[in-house]
Structure 1
Amino acid sequence: MLGIGTITKKVFGTANDRKIKAARPYVEKINALEPEFEALSDEQLKERTQALAERAMAGESLDDLLPEAFANCREAAKRALGLRAFDVQLMGGIFLHQGNIAEMKTGEGKTLVATFPAYLNALSGKGVHIVTVNDYLARRDAEWMGKVYSALGLTTGIVVPNQDDVEKQAAYAADITYATNNELGFDYLRDNMKPDLTQMYQRGHNFAIVDEVDSILIDEARTPLIISGPAEDRSSLYQEIDTVIPLLSEEHYEIDEKTRQVTYTDEGNEFLEEQLKARGILPEDQTLYDPESTTVVHHVNQGLRAHTLFTKDKDYIVRDDEVVLIDEFTGRMMPGRRLSEGLHQAIEAKEGVSIKPENVTLASVTFQNYFRLYDKLAGMTGTALTEQEEFLQIYGLGVVEVPTNKPIARVDEDDAVYRTGREKYDGIVEAIKEAHEKGQPILVGTTSIEKSEVLAGLLTAEGLTHNVLNARQHEKEAQIVAEAGKLGAITIATNMAGRGTDIQLGGNVEMRVLEALADDPEADPEAIRERIEAEHADEKQKVLEAGGLFVLATERHESRRIDNQLRGRSGRQGDPGRSAFFLSLEDDLMRIFGSDRLDKMLGTLGMKDGEAIVHPWVNKSLERAQAKVEGRNFDIRKQLLKFDDVMNDQRKVIFGQRRQIMEAEDLNEIVRDMRHQVIEDMVLHHMPPKSYADQWDTEGLYAEVMEKLGIDVPVIAWADEEGVDDDDIRERLEKATDEFMAEKEEAFGPENMRSVEKQILLQTIDAKWREHLLTLEHLRSVVNFRGYAQRDPLNEYKTESFQLFEGLLDGLREEVTQKLSQIRPLSKEEQEKLIAQLTAQREQAARAAMAGAEGESPQPNPELAADGFDEADPATWGNPGRNDPCPCGSGKKFKHCHGRLA
């Protein structure tokens, strides 16, 4: 008997079917307009863009303009690229414009799809960002699709690392900007550390289309973007601790592979204490449980994690005296990305490479909170349905499965499960030989560099020629992928997510033409193209007869999405193909998630050596295990985001205040309000409400007025007057300070005073925010322990971080008031020098932050070496901030160097 849900779907269709049906009238309108737009000249296409933009600016909705805009864009793409978008591609563009994720299979032309909503939304004049997973794709897509935008009269920009300011500002000012997620996030943080509005890069967050949306918004969103500056060098401590870790044996620690956690046992703690005391790292009268041992405990924990949870050639590679992380989802290297909290340094000590100093956070943001800044967000990928709950909950994005242009003809075989890894690899080699003999191209997917090289060794022993694509062959990526569809080709790849290059049966014509022209630059390009196209057609036919591309996976990933991405490389645009997964009970997923029962069952069935179990039930149970892992990972990300949301609210307040300060012409009122609030707090503290005059601390108030307001007024005498209360004292202090600052403004000149106020406000906000971030990091690392006392760590974090933030705002008011009160009227030359110095210090801090984001050490600022400035003479340094680099050039913060308190 059919359930209610099944009957409803049969009658009304699924939610996805209804969305597809609703998009069809739009597609019909676009197709009906095609003859009209075909008749337009190239110039008239641009004129249409101008007319559509004027209508958009006049208030006409983009939905009403959609059919004409899409028809114009389709015609421009046909002329510029020779590509006429299919109806399903128009559909994908409609769903993106509506703020959805369009799930489109590999080879369906997602790159072209993005041009339609990007063009339509750029008509508003607010700019559109197209986000890619790496710089190569950003450059390729910008150059390729830029021809379409150019034909429509729009400008295209590209944002990549290490651009100069003018180039980057021009890229963001373009109608359509291609950039990587990392660079967009870093530029957002850098913008909010700039001293002036004219230096900012981004002009707002209107609409973003995220390519490989699952990779960017889920996989990469597990770690925040951090701009950091160098901290104290502790290389020797890491090296000392690294000599202890290899001495530990298995009874000294416990590993939980499911959660990737490792903890010391009691025996381990005792052993560690002995070893650390013997090396002088831990004082004789101190234990690991003492509060003073926090730093040492933190570093021995990180050392253990580096040795037990991070594997060379899987999680990272060592190259040019440097530990370079590998993205577990794409298999790509991530140069410049470093693990935080001393973990990267622990791995560097383990591998014996140069240890770079730890960093302190200057600014940070998660991808979740960065992308939620956009007024409208959309994404596209080949695999999103398995994560649709997360997309909806975190980003408010729906997932729409767009039908393929041609029916999928790929055969997906049931998984083959072997008892041991050796038997599995024997089975894989046999399957490869069998397919290779009939000329079928084979793509073998592995989960790590190490495993790809083991398999490569087995194929070499069998005399089978093959290509290997992993982080080490990163530069040859496009060439290896382009050849993967050739007759009889064997390609081993470490993950295939977001490769951005289709595997075309018979090989890639464009790549072969470019190679032929490089070999013989004098040859006729047209003749070469004709010859290669003829050869390709013949080879493609042979590949089709051999069964198309065979995707062979050597392991199941924790996420079904990654498996589907690999599978999706075969069977593009209706081509034939097949996919198969070869597994063993020794694989990580099988071993961690209950292979014991399966092993006993297979033993009971009397399976022989080399035999595999193949059954749909096995597939289903594996998918259930994967769904369980995905759910757990989602919960972890959700919990992390809840903590970051607390800081995000505070980040918005601080960044909003900075922007207001930069936009304001006159900050006099803001500064006065701050000063009056400081006075109110001082009076409240020393003269509490409902207290008697003889209980007032007038001497304390007088001392604080001298220190913070810089004025000498008879507070004690005022308090002795008959009938004077706390309100009278407050009003007199406000009047005295207002007159004092008015005199100062007259001596400085109004324009100079406004400039000094702005610089001091920005400098103080940035210093306070950096200190606050560090405090929140420490709070975050200890707050989970409160769960043992039956207190909710998240609520505790919210409460304490709010109190800390209030403290930040109080401290900000006090410091700004105090700094402004200490500035004395100077000569014109001295005034100019002071303003230049403050500006130079701000810019130096911003440069240090950028260098930290790009993994470089900040350099001393040559602008500080102006006339009168002397590194060796602190009297010439002006008033450096506590957290600014010390002007002596040591590389340390001022507060840790010459500004250290006695």
Structure 2
Amino acid sequence: MSKFRLFGGGSAQKTLERCRGWAGAVNLAEDGVRALSDAGLRETITRLKQRHRDGEALDDLLPETFAIVREAAVRTLGERPYDEQVIGGAALHLGSVVEMKTGEGKTLTATLPGCLHALTGQGVHILTANDYLAARDAEWMGPVYRFLGLTCAFLPRDGSRAERRPIYGADVVYGAASGFAYDYLRDNLVIAHSDVIQRSLFSAIVDEADLVMVDEAGLLPEISRDSESTSDHARLATLAARLEPGVHYDVDKARRIVSPTERGMALIEDWLGAEVYSGDDVGLAHRVELALRAKELYAKDRDYVIVDGALRVIDASTQRVTDRFIGGGLDQALDAKEGLDVRPERRTLAVIDVHAYLGLYTRLAGMTGVVEGEIDAYRDFYDLGCVAVPPHRPVRRVDHDPVLYVNDDVMLRVMVRTVDEKRAAGRPSLIGTASAETTEQISQALLAKGIGHDVLTAKNHALEAEIIARAGRPGAVTVLTRMAGRGVDIRLTEPEGAGLFVLGIGPLPSRRLELHLRGRAGRGGDTGESAFFFSMDDPGVKVPKFVDRLNETSKDEDPMAGKVIARALKGVLNAISAAETQRSASVLRYSAVREEQRAAVYAKRDDVLSNGVSPDETNRLVEQVMWGYVLAARTGSEDVDKLGTAIRTLYPATLGRDTFAAGLSGGPSSKARTELADVVVRDALAASAARESDLGPDVAAELKRRIMLVAIDRSWQTQLQDLNDAHDGVSLRTMAGGDPFTEYRRAASRLVEKMWGQIAEDFVGYWFNVEVSVEPLDDTDA
């Protein structure tokens, strides 16, 4: 029976068989490759590039390329990739999510498909969770690439466009996923192709795949700027503080919706002296909802911290403090809730979720320490199968079943005593929690007993590498929140000792995260031990009634343990994990509507950037806009003047009032109206031809290209805000029933139709009315 775990049935089996076959071929090529000189290895890579240009497939080049990379790793790093790493690298090449346990060498594994895909000359992006890991891996693996004549670079989060352009020219680029996504967005705001810095999105290999591809799939890298608008967030925060949940508003934490009741809405409108939904302030309902969401759904030190008088967001997956915005006005609502100076509201210029960005790559693969629990997500979100590669060395970690204690006090007492015993025996201990509050509670309990320890939370993540480096010392005690410190191995200073003891406190958001935490012990064949403590006081621990009866008969510090308890607690974890998966899927459903529109907008923008706006398209848009104006006009003397004024504002019309009056004598489908539309279109097309003749073909083409880009960008920015408002609006209106997603999709369809009409109207208006000044080139520019 295969020692590989398979996910996905027959397709996974076929993937595994191919990868094992390739591993055998790599081994057969190893002796010949080992005999080559350093220069010979580089020359072989050059020949492999040429063979690919001549039409040879990457699959056929894999055995020789992998053998060369393996030898390069030996000569530069002193490390020979194991057969398991070769198999993992082959699975990455085929587009799988590959499970390799902590300490099994995922970083080195990625160099194998990285070098293979670099043969195409299209560039390879290796994406990971943060800048620290990306910089570390680029520095660590860089010698392998450079030894073979390939270039390797690190893409930092910050830096000017001029500094980032040459980085993208490297064969292999390491960076945080969000950094690549931000540059993609910026590239779609330029007005000339020469300003684009990313090359084609060919190959992406995602490290820490479960974090980047699942937990952060809905994360929204966003480019925005301060808006000139002002708001009343402070007043609304004061109002929200006076309202009572269940009386004035209802809270649906699963769907993250807070909705005023009829009684609450009446009170809100009375206090504000304005109608929330039908008044003149169209954004008031949205801001009221933001104040309530800030109050009920966001907690200080859990979702955000205040640093030097400024609110900073905590990433829910990594528990790191970030510089990003929540967006949609929530940042301002939270400022007001905390009594801070409310920052200017921001206008979104461009946005894309991580899931959609990753979907732009021609080739996509991922690697992670645990795939269990997320197999369906990889398949449904990315159409990727999963393969688990066995460890090179057998796992020697002892995993204990979770145990349940009657309350928090008992659990903490047992936790402190257990950790103290491990410390006295010289064993390092790692305690993992689901929240910063629990971490603080555990830290206080340890301090009360005089047990020194390190704490890794969102508040001190800058010390992450240093803290993790100390965590493997004999007797060291480290407390971390969720998966803070992931990607950084805990190396034991005494590998032959009893190993790291990992203790999880309370349920983590998923079974996957539980396995990740357990996997911090026993890396690379080390000894280790893991356990989980639960408390009946934890609101997330909902156990069957028979467990409550056991609780009544148990002694103070006796744990409730055994297979029955283990199954019950596993059910708790599965329920939490299912709820989190459902939430992520819901977020992506809504995002998919926006992303479909974004893809169409960016495709149009790219076409304009490359090809401009042809005379035929110009005429079509002029005709479309003129017909729209004429058909939308009403009959009547006053409407005749309105239509004439609107047409003459749009372009230099030569038509008189009598022409408009005759055309508006009938309804929109009348013959008179159709004849008027034809007359207006002919007149406008003649004016457009005259405009093009006056400007000359080159100036006219460049003007149309630029004004179309401006029209697209402005309308898309408005559309993003409209979609956000539509999402909030349907959530509020359908709290009591109905399907908010269906309502949102209908609203989005209406909005996008309106957007394309506005783009056409803006283009035509700019085309006729923008003043053009062409300056001659200086002698120095010629």
The aligned residue for residue 517 of structure 1 is none
Structure 1 unmatched ranges of 5 or more: 1-8, 507-538, 689-693, 836-902
State the secondary structure of the residue aligned to 2:138: helix
Q: Aligned partners of 1:581, 1:630: CA distance in 2, in Å?
A: 17
Q: Distance in 2 between matches of 1:719 and 1:142?
A: 72
Q: What secondary structure sits across from 1:45 in the alignment?
A: helix
Letter in 1 for 2:525: G
- The CA deviation at 1:540 is 3.2
The aligned runs of 1:173-184 (5 Å cut-off) are: 173-184=169-180
**Alignment of 1:359 onto 2:346:** yes
In 2, the alpha carbon distance for the partners of 1:212 and 1:499 equals 8
Deviation at 1:703, TM superposition (A): 5.2
Q: How far apart in 1 are the matches of 2:40 and 2:486?
A: 37
Offset at residue 287 of structure 1 (A): 6.0
User: How many Å apart are 1:158 and its aligned residue?
Assistant: 2.2
Q: 1:69 aligns with which of 62, 65, 76?
A: 65
1:766 to 676, 692, 713: 713
Q: Which amino acid aligns with 1:782?
A: G
How far is the alpha carbon of 1:379 from its aligned partner? Answer: 0.4
The question of 1:597 aligning with 2:592 is answered: no
Structure 2 partner of 1:566: 517
Judging changes above 3 Å, is the alpha-carbon distance between structure 1 residues 749 and 762 closer, same or farther for their aligned structure 2 residues?
same
SS of match in other structure, 2:540:
helix
Q: How far off its partner does 1:661 sit?
A: 1.3
Equivalent residues in 2 for 1:672-751, closer than 5 Å: 672-682=619-629, 705-713=647-655, 736-751=683-698
Preserved CA contact (<8 Å) 1:558 1:589: no
The counterpart of 2:32, out of the listed 25, 29, 36, is 36
Structure 2 distance, partners of 1:350, 1:704, is 46
Q: What is the rounded CA distance, in whole Å, between the counterparts of 2:319 and 2:674 in structure 1?
A: 67
Number of residue-to-residue matches in the alignment: 764
Contact 1:104–1:110 at 8 Å: present in 2 too?
yes
Q: 1: distance between equivalents of 2:181 and 2:213? A: 12
Q: Which of 92, 97, 106 is the aligned partner of 1:96? A: 92
Once the two structures are superposed, the pairs formed by residues 191-202 of structure 1 within 5 Å of their partners are 191-202=187-198
- Name 1:342's counterpart in structure 2: 329
CA contact (8 A) 1:104 1:382 kept: yes
Deviations along 1:742-774, one digit per CA (max 9) or x if unpaired, are 443443333222222222111111111112222
- Output the amino acid matched with 2:713: D
SS across alignment from 2:373: helix
Counterpart contact for 1:552–1:580, Cα < 8 Å: yes
**Does the 8 A contact of 1:133 with 1:498 survive in 2?**
no
Contact 1:73–1:148 under 8 Å retained in 2: yes
Contact kept in structure 1, 2:543 and 2:572, CA below 8 Å: no
Among 794, 797, 804, which residue is 2:751 paired with?
Answer: 804
Structure 1 stretch 133-142 or stretch 345-354: which is displaced more? Answer: 345-354
Equivalent position of 2:469 in the other structure: 482
Deviations 1:649-678 (A, max 9, x none): 221221111111111267434323322333
Q: Is the 8 A contact 1:33 1:68 kept in 2?
A: yes
1:717-866 alignment, distance < 5 Å: 736-784=683-731, 792-823=739-770, 830-832=773-775
Residue 321 of structure 2 aligns with an amino acid whose one-letter code is M
Contact 1:185 1:365 in 2 (8 A): yes
User: Measured at CA, do residues 460 and 143 of structure 1 come closer, stay the same or move farther in structure 2, by a change above 3 Å?
Assistant: same
Q: TM-score, normalised by structure 2?
A: 0.90
2:394 alignment partner, SS class: coil
Aligned partners of 1:247, 1:787: CA distance in 2, in Å?
24
Q: Give the 3-state SS of the residue equivalent to 2:222 in structure 1.
A: strand
Map 1:413-428 onto structure 2 (within 5 A): 413-428=400-415
- Aligned residue for 2:441? 454
Alignment of 1:461-472 (within 5 A): 461-472=448-459
Q: Percent identity of the aligned residues?
A: 35
Q: Could you give the per-residue CA deviations for residues 681-723 of structure 1, whole angstroms, max 9, x where no partner exists?
A: 45666799xxxxx99x9887765543333131469579999xx
CA distance in 1, matches of 2:524, 2:589: 42
SS in 1 for 2:225: strand
2:384 to 376, 383, 397: 397
Equivalent residue of 1:166, what SS?
helix
Deviates more, 1:770-779 or 1:671-680: 671-680
Structure 1 residues 488, 654: CA separation in 2 closer, same or farther (over 3 Å shift)? same
Distance 1:716 1:701, change over 3 A: farther
- Pairwise CA distance, 1:580: 0.5
1:303 aligns with 2:254: no
Deviation at 1:609, TM superposition (A): 1.4
Matched, 1:630 2:587: no
- In structure 1, give the amino acid aligned to 2:116: L
The answer on whether the counterparts of 1:408 and 1:575 sit within 8 Å (CA) in structure 2 is: yes
How do 1:46-65 and structure 2 match up within 5 A?
46-65=42-61
Counterpart position of 1:331: 319
Distance 2:400 2:201 in 1: 45
Aligned partner of 2:564 in structure 1 is 617
The 1:803–1:666 alpha-carbon spacing in structure 2 relative to 1, beyond 3 Å, is closer
In 1, Cα distance between the equivalents of 2:742 and 2:262?
31
| Structure 2 unaligned residues grouped into runs of 5+ | 664-670, 778-782
Q: Which residue of 2 aligns with 1:190?
A: 186
TM-score, reference length from structure 1: 0.78
Q: CA deviation at 1:126?
A: 1.3
The 10-residue stretch of structure 1 (730-739 or 807-816) with the greater mean CA deviation from structure 2: 730-739
Q: 2 CA distance for matches of 1:268 and 1:739?
A: 59
Q: What's 1:660 paired with?
A: 607
Q: Is the 1:710–1:818 contact (alpha carbons within 8 Å) kept by the matching residues of 2?
A: no
2:667 maps to what in 1?
none
Q: Which amino acid aligns with 2:502?
A: V
Quote the offset at 1:152 in angstroms. Answer: 1.2
Q: CA deviation at 1:333?
A: 1.2
SS in 2 for 1:386: coil
Partners in 2 of 1:796 and 1:350 — Cα distance? Answer: 30
Counterpart residue identity of residue 371, structure 1 = L
The structure where helix makes up a greater share of residues is: 1
Distance, in Å, in 2 between the alignment partners of 1:683 and 1:263 is 42
How big is the alpha-carbon RMSD for the aligned residues of Structure 1 and Structure 2? 3.3
**Residues 1:319 and 2:307 are matched in the alignment:** yes
CA-CA distance at 1:231 after TM superposition: 2.9
